[in-house]
Amino acid sequence: MELSKPVETLTGIGPKTAEILKKYGIRTVKDFLYTLPRDYETYDTPTSIAKIRPGKVVIRGKIDALTSRRARRRNLSVTEGVVRDETGMVKVVWFNQSYRLKQFSKDKEYYFTGNYELRNGRYSLVSPSAAEVADIDLRIGLSPIYVAHGALKSHDFRRLFNNSRDKFNQIPDLLPSVKSGTRKKALFYAHFPNSLDIANKAREYLAYEELFELILAAKLNRRENDKLRAKAIPFNQEGIRNFVQKLPFKLTNAQRRAAWDIFKNMEKPVPMNRLLQGDVGSGKTMVAALAALEVILAGGQVAFLAPTAILATQHFDSLSKILEGFGVHTALLTGATKKKPELKKQILNKEINLVIGTHALLTDDTEFANLQLVIIDEQHRFGVEQRQKLLLKSPHGLAPHLLSMTATPIPRSLQLTVFGDLDVSILNEMPRGRQPIETKILAEIETTEMLYPKMDEIMKLSPDKKGTGKKMHGQQIYWICKAIDDGTVVPNQNGAASPQDITSVKKRTRRLREVFPDKCIEFLHGKMKPAEKDAIMERFSNGEIDILVSTTVVEVGVDVPNATLIVIENAESYGLAQLHQLRGRVGRGASKAYCYLLTSGDMRPSRRLLELEKSNDGFYLSEVDLKLRGPGEIYGALQHGALDLRIASLADTKLISRAQKDVTEFLQAPDDMIKYKELMSGITKYQQITTLN
């Protein structure tokens, strides 16, 4: 079987079905085969309705009296019905699943699996899965339950896999370290298990395959990096000590450790490939300044790449002040920089030894005489090709040292697999004076009574003493919205919300202007032109805007110490890591800071919101996020490209250890990789998204 063929080559998958599958990333035969069940159900012993008790139950019956209504709170639809068997009847309810109205026929029998629990003073079967009795083959043992993909529900996937059942025997093996036929058996029993134990063993093998590919890619990246050569930069003890002693503040122990790691790396003739990760406000820029000074004192040049012009300007302002008087000549290079040809000539002539800029640094006519260190802030915002373009600007035959920075804390288990042997420094201490941000979950219906008075209070407080804006009257507020325009459909943890449920940036701005008519309220979003965005952020930084209503475009942005309150609307629709990043927009000054998480609907707050409410520790939250969401989504926030681990759990340390051992053995005979073309295809994909340089 050719796994790379289009999915429509499989029996029973026509153009319409293929189109739906492709919308969800299922494009090839391999994609389809690896769309594993999310769970398994057994229907051989359903409970009669007369005998059901609270907890998980399976019942068999017919359903009628289906209705759907809007709940009192905006962001929720409720679909209800009655299931009957020979012994009685039970109420069944689904939230934000209005498609259930068209799913059932009154004349057919179904299995319903879900929790029988007390809600609003009455017992109901809550959000059960449903399978038509005629579709279930009880001889199989377990019935797989698949995640719905648009119009394709679980029973549709069962039918499609049954159509391709005879194809599984043609699946080739992927890994050299297993017995022949292992993969085809694992995939077959993942879809057609005789028992839960068999299903779990099948999934364990497929998880092992994923980890093997990922770890192999990371180790190959390290091997390739170690073949390169860089300028060895001796540690300048006197120069660095002099600089640190003149700082107006004391470095944290974490900053000192990270700087020492960098100095030791750069003493070697192999290019440093180090990731500096630290929570928002942990002092990464200061560590970058130490690294830059070390290189410049040795006669080299440094390029500092930032994702936005306003962030580049902020780094330029702070670094030029910090490094002033130490022989550092700093320049700012962005799209708006005037007299670019003259500045680029100065860079080539070594008159400038620290260049801070945006994508303008990547142009072919930006040349360096002696580039020895590249620093990339929020490196995930740049693609692999963009990063490599800057790295190629070093002297012929030498690669520059690379320091990549991220404010998204990476779980330890993700470091071990995704980044392999990558050098990682962690800033897990906060500089003195940083206060924890007080976080509170608030139901949307409480906005008028509880939130608006708090906002009014914040805007009347004296500006934070760190603020420099000339026009500041009070402290400032961020308000984060999910959508730009009205009528946008945005999914949340309860299912797909209807268009009127999501308040857009523009609509929220109109409402807030009605509530606070004497305040300056503006909006910001990603579809605005770069010059417009920069102008808005500059006005906000200067204190001219009281409330900035924005999408997540401000997730990584300019430092505004005077912003002390952030409101995140539809908070349940964001991941934990992103919520923590957004929260980090405030609390950057000396004043007390607050974060309000607005929830919609009548569901209880999710675990991730409760975790965010109780903790400000980004590293703790990253571990929680890994357990709740899996590595793919977290890694998507760290770097371009999707990690896309569909089966493996990075909490499975035993399986990780086994895969690492087998990868090490496999690499003893690298020529064998030529024999495994499919394996190398997967490795190439993982190498592109796990490399920093």
For the stretch 342-388, pLDDT in tens is: 999 999 999 999 999 988 888 888 999 999 999 988 765 665 666 67
21 and 55 assigned to the same domain = no
Dist. CA 632–CA 639, nearest whole Å: 11
Both 412 and 501 in one domain: the answer is no
pLDDT band at residue 49 using 50, 70 and 90 as cut-offs: very high
> What pLDDT is recorded for position 348?
93
Q: Which structural domain range is residue 34 located in?
A: 1-40+140-171
What is the mean pLDDT of the segment spanning 567-575? Answer: 89
- Is residue 258 a part of any domain in this protein? yes
% of the chain with per-residue pLDDT over 70: 85
In this structure, the answer to whether residues 530 and 453 fall within a common structural domain is yes
396 with 468, same domain: the answer is no
CATH number for the domain spanning 466: value is 3.40.50.300
Task: Say if residue 487 is in the same domain as residue 364.
Answer: no
Residue where a domain terminates, one of 427, 454, 479: 427
Tally the domains of the chain.
4
Q: Which of 171, 186, 216 is the last residue of a domain?
A: 171
pLDDT at 377: 87
d(CA 132, CA 104): 9
Secondary structure E strands in 368-490 = 371-377, 401-406, 423-427, 438-443, 476-480
Residue 52 within any structural domain of the chain = yes
Residue 159 contacts residue 174 (beta carbons within 8 Å): no
For residue 115, the domain's CATH number is 2.40.50.140
What pLDDT score does 566 carry?
A: 97
> Residue 99's pLDDT is what?
84
Q: What integer is the mean pLDDT of 51-73? A: 87
pLDDT score of 467 more than 70: no
Both tokens assigned to 377? 């802030």
Would you state the pLDDT for residue 372?
94
Q: Is residue 672 part of a domain?
A: no
Q: How confident is the model at residue 663 (pLDDT cuts 50, 70, 90)?
A: confident
**Does residue 394 surpass a pLDDT of 90?**
no
- Number of alpha carbons in the 13 Å side-chain half-sphere of residue 175: 24
Between the two ends of the chain, the Cα-to-Cα distance in Å is: 36
Q: Verify that 367 and 471 share a domain, yes or no.
A: no
Q: Long-range contacts for 194-200 (Cβ within 8 Å, ≥24 apart)?
A: 194/140, 194/141, 194/142, 195/141, 195/142, 196/40, 196/142, 199/40, 199/142
**Would you state the torsion angle of the CA atoms of residues 406, 407, 413, 416, taken in this order, to the nearest 10 degrees?**
20
Both 370 and 480 in one domain: the answer is no
404 and 284 in contact (C-beta within 8 Å)? no
Same structural domain for residues 348 and 273? yes
Q: Given 171, 191, 220, which residue is the final one in a domain?
A: 171
Q: Same domain for 343 and 485?
A: no
| Residue 355: strand, helix, or coil | strand
Cα–Cα distance between 77 and 64 in angstroms, integer? 18
684 domain residue, yes or no: no
Residues 572 and 592: beta-carbon distance below 8 Å: no
Residues 31-43, mean pLDDT to the nearest whole number? 89
Residues 72 and 119 in one domain: yes
Whether the CB-CB separation of 220 and 683 falls below 8 Å is answered with yes
Question: How confident is the model at residue 496, as a pLDDT?
Answer: 37
Q: What is the pTM of this model?
A: 0.67
Residue 28 lies in a domain: yes
Kindly state the average pLDDT of the residues 61-72: 87
Helix (H, G, I), strand (E, B) or coil at 128: strand
